[in-house]
Amino acid sequence: MSNERTIFKALSWASSFLIENGRDANAGEILLRAQLNMSRSKLFAEQRTPLADQEWYRFEESVKEHAAGKPVQHIIGYEEFYGRKFFVNEDVLIPRPETEELIEATLKKLGAAFKSVSGLKVADIGTGSGAIAITLKLELPVLDVFASDLSEKALQTAKKNAECLNAEVQFLQGDLLQPFIDNGLKLDIVVSNPPYIPIHDELSDVVSEHEPHSALFGGKDGLDFYRRFASELPGVLKEQALVLFEIGDGQGEDVKRLLAKSFSAAEIDVVRDINGKERIVTMAI
């Protein structure tokens, strides 16, 4: 068998090395695809193609970085979300596939709740990379989309993503709903994937050592931000409005109760994701 350093050999080595180090074997494929700028089908069609020494060493280094705990997305510089590439770094939460279901639920609910969606004011609170706000704007351009975050560095990343994806989103810096309250803005729809992990939960080192804790942890029980939302939402919502939150599995009834205290007449539902886990709470008033 040839001793050439082919794509096949690179992937085989990476798979074994990553498994030995307790990481996902598929990470090697993602890293090499990004490095060579190849689609998955092209990568596998060209498995016998040799890699230049520089390509091999660069790939080897990136695999070792991931094995040591650095997220794949930080190595390649982006994550795919809803079919688009979003720049990510240590200042923002890496968008998760599960959050795509929040986008789908929002588009479905607003289409059913409003006679006309043109000009509806939508706000993504705690926007991070901007994935939710930008995706909503690009999927339904007639929406008037706002995005807020407490972190100036996160907003810089979100603005970069909006510019690169040509999405017209208005960004505000501030704590939760405060920027909207301060500016007297009334909203038709509020969407958020707030920090909801209980402070004492153990996370993978890939997550805990490289993603902002302010975007992960929601207090002792993970519900701190939902408590604040329940308190602040009455000050920003229009008479008819929608609210959609991503939640952690098992938090649905608690979040539902918190919202019901402030909106006793609202229709509040807990939605499960494709894996059967509680994922979204929706509220219509």
User: Where is the binding site for S-adenosyl-L-methionine, in residues?
Assistant: 126-130, 149, 193
| 3-state SS string for 78-104 | EEEECCEEEECCCCCCCCCHHHHHHHH
Both structure tokens of 282: 């929706």
Residue 28 CA, chain-centre distance (Å), reads: 22
Cα angle 129-200-261, degrees, rounded to a multiple of 5:
75
Give the annotated binding-site residues. Answer: 126-130, 149, 193-196
Buried (b) or exposed (e) across 66-84, using 16+ Cβ within 10 A?
bbebbbbbbbbebbebbeb
Give the annotated binding-site residues for substrate. Answer: 193-196
Residue 168 CA, chain-centre distance (Å), reads: 19
What are 261-266's contacts with CB under 8 Å, separation 24+?
A: 261/230, 262/230, 262/231, 262/233, 262/234, 263/233, 263/234
